[in-house]
Amino acid sequence: MHSYAAAHHKTIMAVDIAGYNNPSRTMAHLREVHEGLWSVLKGSFAETGIPWDVCFVENTGDGAMILLPPEIAKADLVAQLPERLHAELRRYNAVHSEAARIQLRVALSAGEVQQASHGSVSKAVSFTFRVLDAPAAKAAQKATEADLALLASDTFYNDVVAQDPAAAPDDYARIPVSVKETSTVAWLRLMGVSRIRPPTPSEQVPDFTALVEALMDVPWVRNSDSRRLLLEMFPRREIASQVSYYPQDRLHVIALAKTCLRFAGGLRCLLDVVLTMDPHSPEVTRLTELVGRWPEER
């Protein structure tokens, strides 16, 4: 019988250098960027008052995975570390060429982590790296040339970031995350934006008709029995109880969408139930992206 070390709750930080393998970088550039990453991270931790040696750190080649112990307060982390990271990036980039410039994506989450003989084992760590790889975050950073793209998982944002005004929760926007088997939402804060371009048509704020069409595109939503189950699963009964019933599928879906939009967070509540029932289909992924662009849900 094998004996395994117990899992422990950790704050998880996943770090990636944007465009690390850009063809314009020579080996000399890559070496400078690699060394610069560790200088930026260690300097940021030191200025935040987080001892580097209490963290478990893995080099991922073009980034890092850092596990912070429970005694490091998450609130202090989100209120202080982003500004320090951004400051260290500015210092580094000010004295390096364009090809050696560093843009970082950093994802924060938390969960159970078990240490194995060759590293960490954790579904929470894998999930954090899925958040880090969100295409919407990569596109936003590329479009704005932001020095730092800071991501927080939905739970981490609501439990930690949103609870502390010092963490600048209003500077975050909710984005869809659809990476491999993961379909969820996260929160994105861009720091050091150097340019802003007009949104492409796919990024335009959707209208009500687009929302109805996206719901109707989900095959089981067009089924009255499935919609009845959806309403039974609604955690907010004050919303579900006010949805008017229509025997015509489209009219009932319209009533469902209109009712959800009358309540703060109602559309997000609808999406959460849809994701519970059908987390992986392409139609639900598109619905998730649309809800992420909805003004009241940003």
Mean pLDDT, range 76-98, rounded to an integer:
93
Q: Who has greater pLDDT, 102 or 201?
A: 102
155 pLDDT higher than 50: yes
pLDDT tens readout for residues 107-139:
999 988 877 656 667 788 899 999 999 988 888
Name the least confident of 48-57, 100-109, 177-186, 191-200: 191-200
Contact 177, 184 (CB under 8 A): yes
Contact 144, 193 (CB under 8 A): yes
CA dihedral 87, 91, 92, 94 (to 10 degrees): 130
Mean pLDDT, range 156-165, rounded to an integer:
94
- Residue 133 phi/psi, 5-degree rounding, is -90, 10
Average pLDDT of the chain? 87
What region does 181 belong to: left with phi over 0, alpha with psi -120 to 50, or beta?
Answer: alpha
**DSSP letters along 49-65, please?**
T--GGGSEEEE-SSEEE
